[in-house]
A and B are shown apart, each in its own frame.
Chain A
Amino acid sequence: MPTVSVKWQKKVFDGIEIDISLPPYVFKAQLYDLTGVPPERQKIMVKGGLLKDDGDWSAIGVKDGQKLMMMGTADEIVKAPEKAIVFSEDLPEEALATNLGYSAGLVNLGNTCYMNSTVQCLKSVPELKSALSNYSLAGRSNDVDQTSHMLTVATRELFGELDRSVNAVSPSQFWMVLRKKYPQFSQLHNGIHMQQDAEECWTQLLYTLSQSLKAPTSSEDPDAVKALFGVNLLSRLHCQESGEESSEKESVYSLKCHISHEVNHLHEGLKHGLKGELEKNSPALDRTALYLKESLIDSLPRYLTVQFVRFFWKRETNQKAKILRKVDYPLELDIFDLCSPDLKKKLEAPRQKLRDEEGKKLGLTSAKSGSKDSDVKMTDAEGSSNGSGESSTVNQNEGASSEKETHMTGIYDLVAVLTHKGRSADSGHYVAWVKQESGKWIQYDDDNPSMQREEDITKLSGGGDWHMAYIIMYKARFVSM
């Protein structure tokens, strides 16, 4: 009876006797006692071959002192998890879209980047989206004309499609309707559609939407778009010749940032834009005279749009020329000193509250839990403002004044930038840069969305041939009281 040694994992079992008259299965049973590996799981290697259960020892020719190797464990055999794992490769495209964290791009239909970037910027306003989704096909009120209705529907469809799709969406339907409504966008040059001014598109689109989204049922303030974007200005007109003074109120959808050589910063540009001269018939002098106009903000919108007046008509070249001057803009804008005294008064308490909360956040208060609480509150506040976008639009204009839970603070956060690259408004390239709810910035360059860093967003302030901000949009920061 030869004795062999068996190596199993790192252990060696010496001096195992083999009864060569019995089948190898018996030997395996011997090993089972030693290792605890059931015979059917044992694999015994003898010089390049496996030992068969019913093999013949004499054919294998085991020698005394030979070393055998055994493989096998009593480990559980791996089983596939009961729930099959889903891979992104298997998912339909729609499901993928939600995974991406941002929506799709828009195909350029031939110089339509001005429109694409405008749509992408406006799409970032959730309140506008929800207002649109409430807009029903049938519920067209009579004071809205057919084309406006169609444009509104097209906008709604486009927004929806963008949210569902992974791949770039072709806005052909929307474009067709837009051109129908505003024929100036169908201008051709050499047989192709011309590049247009994004600002014009922005203004026209918002105007149409404001017309059609006037809820027929609500009586208080039906204009949803105005509630979101409208800025009420209180202007004082002063004629230096006659000393006459008058005041007037107006409502605009965007503030203008005028660019002159003194202007280096958005704030200066805005101030500049709120002052103006105009010629007007003076009742006292009975002729047209020069009036100075100074405006102050009387009510704040949820979304503050600022247009950089970068283009002016250059008579010599007969085109809209561009001012390349660098005008910085902040990620966080405070427009307190542009407000009217009344508004300032209203803003004071919420601002104080905001300052306190921020102070807490920065760790001025000792308790850690305290700051956490305020964090939660802050997010809560924001969440509610987002969620209640719909309802608050109903009487949004009073959002700042009425004693509701959330209050305007006059502080705004940058959420979207529409940039232009090139030397004139009718040429070059428009791109939208939009902040997602996750806090990430996405650059929508037509059909190609890509992630961007926040610090790169502030670098779009001009001063070179890089993309420079043309229209920027801020979102109001609220504080709950």
Chain B
Amino acid sequence: MAPAQDPNSVGGGAKRDEATLKVPSKDPKKKDDKKEDDLSEEDLQLKQNLELYVERAQDPNPELQKAALESMRQDIRASTSSMTSVPKPLKFLRPHYGTLKEFHVKMAESDLKKMLADILSVLALTMSAEGERESLNYRLTGSEGDIGSWGHEYVRNLAGEIAEEYTMRQGEESSIDDLMKLVQQIVAFHMKHNAETEAVDLLMDVEDLDLLLEHVDSTNFRRTCNYLTSAAKYLPGPDDMLVLDIAYMIYIKFSEYPNALQIALFLGNMQYVKQVFTSCTDLLKKKQFCYMISRHGITFELDSEMVANDDDKEMLQDIVNNTKLSEGYLTLARDIEVMEAKTPEDIYKAHLLDGRASSGPSVDSARQNLAATFVNAFVNAGFGQDKLMTVPSDSTSGSAGNWLFKNKEHGKTSAAASLGMILLWDVDSGLAQLDKYFHSNENPIIAGALLGVGIVNCGIKNDCDPALALLAEYIGKEDSSVRIGAIMGLGIAYAGSQNDQIRSSLSPILADAKAPLDVIAFAALSLGMIYVGSCNEEVAQSIIFALMDRSEAELGEALTRFLPLGLGLLYLGKQESVEATAEVSKTFNEKIRKYCDMTLLSCAYAGTGNVLKVQDLLAQCGEHLEKGDIHQGPAVLGLAMVAMSEELGLDMEIRSLERVLQYGEQNIRRAVPLALGLLCISNPKVTVMDTLSRLSHDTDSEVAMAAIISLGLIGAGTNNARIAGMLRNLSSYYYKDASLLFCVRIAQGLVHMGKGLLTLSPFHSERLLLSPTALAGIVTLLHACLDMKSIILGKYHYVLYFLVLAMQPRMMLTVDENLKPISVPVRVGQAVDVVGQAGRPKTITGFQTHSTPVLLAAGERAELATEKYIPLSPILEGFVILKENPDYREE
């Protein structure tokens, strides 16, 4: 945690002024002699002077002593401005350090002794041996005068020694009061001199961050908090939480509520979120908070304490409930002019391929039509129109359901559900369009309609709870496909809501001995989604019992993996809270025990960057196992889940996965592409793209399939031309293999998801916050991809729709005070890490100026290019409310 800046430049500046003031009074020539090399006349004189002072300091006459010490101090102070070379006075005093030390011991207690101690403390800066901490010791016996007067380097040195001393005293359990006093001084000094990072470092070393609150002021709290939040990523628990707590308090102290809210969300502390609302009085700002909460995808109920006025409350709740998301998204789409619906053929672009794939068979292939269904759903997601499903019904030919019937059996489920995807977030029209399928006489279609209702309501809450009302009665139906449709729909619509009513209707299924395995698996999964990250005991219990009740044969089924996964999702990101459940999982049948272990571990530490857990998981991947063990798959995914939170760990993980790929067994190799896909989701890094492209031609078709899907994931919603080209070539390469071609098509659909307006990244707000529901959706899909053949290529392809949980517009939409979209110029560029940087560094580089709404790619940041408005949130993502700048003057 070394600070990136050299604080001397600023801290020393003040000192130099002091020096120039004092030096001439003593010896007018002294200033000049620094410029001369070697022992010039001036130097010689200085040396002689100093020697004289040393001698006189030992003089019995206190007057002389005092004068000598005073002069010595002046000389030293005049020169401690920089440490690029040892200052001359210190250099000349080196030989006398021992003498002075001895003399100091002999001296009687007096002001003079303290004065000498001060000087010795400074001299120790260069003289004392490593680990002696003499500088600190003399400082503590010294006069306790202004610490800054000795220059910045001295303070830094002291801080270092304090940290050492502190650790030692902690070991001995001796008092630290004297140290803390010094710490107070140093922190005050640092905070005043733009060295917030060092102050924070020192306070972290002495474990007393609370002190910071007293010293931050309106000029430095931003930099301080910035440093705190980014340092938190690298701290072991529970320190990280502590650090963020402090950051939160500082933000609250300075009424910087949006940032405070961000941290509150990061901590998952609803109390804090509430506090933000109660402390803030500005209604407009509260609206902005609501937008931020809605982006995070958590369920949040406002109460009268937070907003007094009922009408206001209703309006704010509407924002939290995401009811305006569809509108905003369509505004963006209209602005970018991509409203025109696209067909799967527009995405495949087969005409760009020469010869090979263009000869499509004249008969419909169910598998390819299913792929087209998904592509159509992903590409037109949220636009409310497409060219397959929503074409106006023609009564004569009955073409409304035409495409639906071009899908076979369970394919119709996905086809009907795709309507939900196309009308994503638009509950009113979505329900109207899905209605007709409820009355179908084919079970797969009804199942699809149910699932579609769930998808339409994904992330949207409504007072009437239409999804619950419609789906609840289908949970207990006879046909298992209908049941799964309803259960999965509920899981998607109510992810993260912790809705008790749903729990009471889903839990009995888990305990039902007669229920088929697939119904149980999806019930466990949906419960996991609804209670994601809640650590809910009762849900955990029912899933655990369900797992224990499964027979040996059932445990071998591909779908059984959803049970441990559902359990894991309950503890998503909750770290230690998982331990009790992890103990229980050790009693499971050995077929599932390890799988469950790995899933729990990886979910609990997802997004924490915990290095120890990464090592644990890597160790698991290092083993070479007998055939049939499947737990290494989730272990590899776990690596990515744990490490995905911050950039350094992420890059490191990508490199170590390369090793895993080389040395791992086949079941590990199959999971590696998926892990890469998760690490770079919606963030097409070229290196990862190349690795995946290589793997997509792997001899093991499962590795190839996973790599192809992952290519889709890393390019999801980016329209990345390079990936699109790769996939096009793959489609001709695999034109004969229906399964691989299906994967290629899905990946093509993902890359063009929402015609390039969407992202799957669970991170938002400048990569600080991790949306738990989004991660849950992605992880579920990846676990399903671990056994591609039986799940996605089998009859459970609709698990692909779990991705809807992570789909969010990657937009920056500015709205005015009445929440109507307005267009303002913004600069969009690559984000620069400015934590700990001196001055006011630029936050973006290589920017272009656009007018809102704009799209933000991974790693990009926006800033307003006009002074006319003030954004209410410092993070320009999603919906941002702009306020007119009262000080703005037209030029």
| Partner-B contacts on A (CB < 8 A) | 7, 9-10, 41, 43, 45-50, 67-69, 71-73, 75-81, 85-91, 95-96, 99-101, 438, 440-441, 450-454
A91 touches B363 (CB 8 A): yes
A75 with B364, Cβ < 8 A, contacts A67-B463, A68-B464, A81-B398 known: no
Q: A75-B400, A86-B364 are in contact. List 8 more A-B contacts (CB 8 A).
A: A9-B432, A47-B463, A50-B469, A69-B464, A73-B435, A87-B366, A87-B408, A453-B354
CB within 8 Å of A: which B369-401 residues: 369, 393, 395, 398, 400-401
- Tell me, rounded to whole Å, the shortest Cβ–Cβ distance linking B601 to chain A: 36
- The answer for the CA separation of A91 and B465 in the assembled complex, in Å, is 45
Q: Given the complex, which residues of A lie within 8 Å of B428, measured CB to CB?
A: 7, 9-10
Given contacts A7-B428, A78-B400, contact A41 B469 (CB under 8 A): no
Nearest B residue to A439 by beta-carbon distance?
Answer: B355
Number of A-B contacts (CB under 8 A): 125
Residues of A within 8 A of B468 (CB): 48-49
Asked if A69 contacts B365 (CB within 8 A), the reply is no
Does B128 sit within 8 A of A, measured CB to CB? no
Residue B349 is within 8 A (CB to CB) of chain A in the complex:
no
Asked whether A71 and B470 contact (CB < 8 A) given A7-B428, A48-B501, the answer is yes
Q: Is the CB of A9 within 8 A of B400?
A: no
Collect the chain B residues with CB atoms within 8 Å of residue A71's CB. 431-432, 435, 466, 470
Q: Are B359 and A85 in contact (CB under 8 A)?
A: no
Is B359 a contact partner of A101 (Cβ separation < 8 A)?
A: yes
Q: Which of B93-101, B436-444, B689-697, B718-726 is found at the contact surface with chain A?
A: B436-444
From the candidates B363, B437, B465, name the one contacting A48 in the complex (CB within 8 A): B465
B: number of interface residues (CB 8 Å): 46
Give complex CA distance A99, B428 in Å: 44
| A79 to chain B: closest residue by CB | B398
| Closest residue of B by beta carbon distance from A454 | B355
Bound form: Cα–Cα A87–B361 in Å: 11
Contact indicator A80/B401 (Cβ below 8 Å): yes
Q: Which residues of B contact A85 (CB under 8 A)?
A: 364, 405-406
Partner of B355, one of A95, A99, A453: A453
User: Within the complex, which residue of B361, B393, B432 is in contact with A88, where a contact is CB–CB below 8 Å?
Assistant: B361
A67 to B314, CA, bound (A): 13
**Chain A residues within 8 Å of B435, by CB:** 41, 43, 71-73, 75
How far, in whole Å, are A440 and B356 apart by their CA atoms in the complex?
9
Once bound together, how far apart are the Cα atoms of A67 and B354, in whole Å?
58
B residues sitting closer than 8 Å to A (CB atoms) are 354-357, 359, 361-367, 369, 393, 395, 398, 400-402, 404-406, 408, 428-429, 431-432, 435-437, 439-440, 442, 445, 462-466, 468-470, 472-473, 501, 735
> B361 contacts A78, CB within 8 Å?
no
- A79 and B401 contact, CB distance less than 8 A: yes
* Chain B residues, Cβ within 8 Å of A43: 435, 469-470
Contact between A81 and B402 (Cβ–Cβ < 8 Å)? yes
Instruction: Give Cα A428–Cα B735 distance, bound, in whole angstroms.
Output: 28
A80 to B406, CA, bound (A): 10
Which residues of A sit under 8 angstroms from B472, Cβ to Cβ?
A: 48-49
Tell me if B464 and A87 are in contact (CB < 8 A). no
Q: Which residue of B lies closest to A11 (CB)?
A: B428
Cβ contact of B393, chosen from A48, A76, A80, A95, cutoff 8 A: A76
CB distance from B677 to the nearest CB of A (A): 28
Instruction: Name which of A48, A75, A99 has the most chain B CB atoms within 10 A of its CB.
Output: A48
Q: How far is the CA of A452 from the CA of B359 in the complex (A)?
A: 12
In the docked arrangement, what's the CA distance between A101 and B735, Å? 14
By a CB distance below 8 angstroms, the chain A residues around B393 are 75-76
On chain B, the residues within 8 Å of A86 by CB distance are: 363-364
Set of chain A residues within 8 Å of B400, measured between Cβ atoms:
75-76, 78
The reply to whether B404 and A46 form a contact with Cβ atoms under 8 Å apart is no
Q: Are A76 and B395 in contact (CB under 8 A)?
A: yes
A–B pairs, 10, beta carbons within 8 Å? A9-B431, A46-B469, A48-B468, A67-B463, A71-B466, A77-B436, A87-B366, A95-B363, A100-B361, A451-B357
Q: Which of A48, A78, A95, A451 has the most CB of B within 10 A?
A: A78
Contact B364 A87 (CB under 8 A): yes
For B465, give its contact among A45, A72, A87 (CB under 8 Å).
A45
Q: In the bound complex, do residue B466 and residue A451 qualify as a contact, i.e. CB atoms below 8 Å apart?
A: no
Q: Are B440 and A78 in contact (CB under 8 A)?
A: yes
- In the complex, what residues of B have CB within 8 A of residue A90's CB? 366
Q: In whole angstroms, what is the CA distance A7 to B463 when docked?
A: 12
Complex Cα distance A90/B393, Å? 28
Contact A80 B405 (CB under 8 A): yes
Query: What are the residues of chain B within 8 A of A453 when measuring CB–CB?
Result: 354-356
State the 5 A-B residue pairs at the shortest beta-carbon distance, nearest first.
A78-B401, A48-B465, A69-B464, A45-B469, A87-B366
Q: Which residue of B lies closest to A69 (CB)?
A: B464
Interface contact B363-A88, CB-CB below 8 Å: yes
- Min Cβ gap A214→B in Å is 39
Determine the chain B residues whose CB is within 8 A of the CB of A99 once the complex forms. Answer: 361-363
- Cα(A453)–Cα(B355), bound, Å: 6
Report yes or no: B440 in contact with A77, Cβ–Cβ below 8 A. Answer: yes
Question: Could you say which of B354, B366, B431 contacts A89, with CB atoms under 8 Å apart?
Answer: B366
| Contact among B357, B369, B445 for A78, CB-based, below 8 A | B445
A79 vs B437: C-alpha distance when bound (angstroms): 9
Separation of A75 and B401 alpha carbons in the complex (Å):
12
List residues of chain B with CB within 8 A of the CB of A78.
398, 400-401, 404, 436-437, 440, 445
Distance (whole angstroms) from the CB of A369 to the closest CB of chain B: 28
Q: Is the CB of B501 within 8 A of A50?
A: no
Least Cβ distance of B547 to chain A in Å? 29
For B436, the chain A residues whose CB sits under 8 A away are 73, 75-78
Q: Are B437 and A87 in contact (CB under 8 A)?
A: no
Q: Is the CB of B470 within 8 A of A50?
A: yes
When chains A and B are docked, how far (Å) is the Cα of A96 from the Cα of B363? 9
Q: With A85-B406, A451-B355, A451-B356 known to touch, is A45 a contact of B445 (CB < 8 Å)? A: no
Complex Cα distance, B359 from A87, in Å, reads 17
The smallest beta-carbon distance between A470 and chain B, in angstroms, is: 23
CB distance from B449 to the nearest CB of A (A): 10
Q: Which residue of chain A has its CB nearest to the CB of B738?
A: A89
Cβ 8 A contact of A41, one of B429, B437, B439:
B439
CA distance A80 to B437 in the complex (A): 11
Shortest Cβ gap from B401 to chain A (Å): 3
Complex Cα–Cα for A452 and B406 (A): 31
Contact across chains for A87 and B365 when beta carbons are under 8 A apart: yes
B359–A451 CB distance below 8 A: yes
What's the Cα separation between A76 and B399 when bound, in Å?
A: 11
A78 vs B501: C-alpha distance when bound (angstroms): 32
Distance of A91 Cα from B466 Cα, bound (Å)? 42
Contact residues in B for A454 (Cβ distance below 8 Å): 355
A46/B470 in contact, CB under 8 A: no
Q: Which residue from chain A places its CB closest to the CB of B736 in the assembled complex?
A: A450
Given that A78-B437, A99-B362, A438-B359 are contacting pairs, would A45 and B466 also be in contact in the complex, using a CB cutoff of 8 Å?
A: yes
State the Cβ distance, B761 to closest chain A Cβ, in Å.
31
B83 to nearest A CB, angstroms?
67
How long is the Cα–Cα vector from A125 to B466 in the complex, in angstroms? 67
Min CB gap A147→B, angstroms: 38
A49–B364 CA distance with the chains assembled, in angstroms: 41
Tell me whether A48 and B469 are in contact (CB under 8 A).
yes
Q: Is the CB of A87 within 8 A of B363?
A: yes
| In contact, A80 and B442 (Cβ under 8 angstroms) | yes
A89 near B408: Cβ-Cβ < 8 Å: yes
A81 contacts which chain B residues (CB < 8 A)?
398, 401-402, 405
Alpha-carbon gap, A7 to B465, bound state (A): 13
Which residues of chain B come closer than 8 Å to A50, judged between CB atoms?
Answer: 469-470, 473
* A99→B364 CA distance, assembly (Å): 11
Whole-angstrom CA separation of A72 from B431 in the bound complex: 8
C-alpha spacing A48/B457, complex, angstroms:
13
Task: Tell me the minimal C-beta distance from A28 to chain B in angstroms.
Answer: 15
CB distance from A118 to the nearest CB of B (A): 24
Q: A89 and B470 in contact (CB under 8 A), knowing A71-B435, A79-B398? A: no
Quote the shortest CB–CB distance from A42 to chain B (angstroms): 10
CA distance A78 to B440 in the complex (A): 6
Which residues on the A side are within 8 Å of B432 (C-beta)? 9, 71, 73
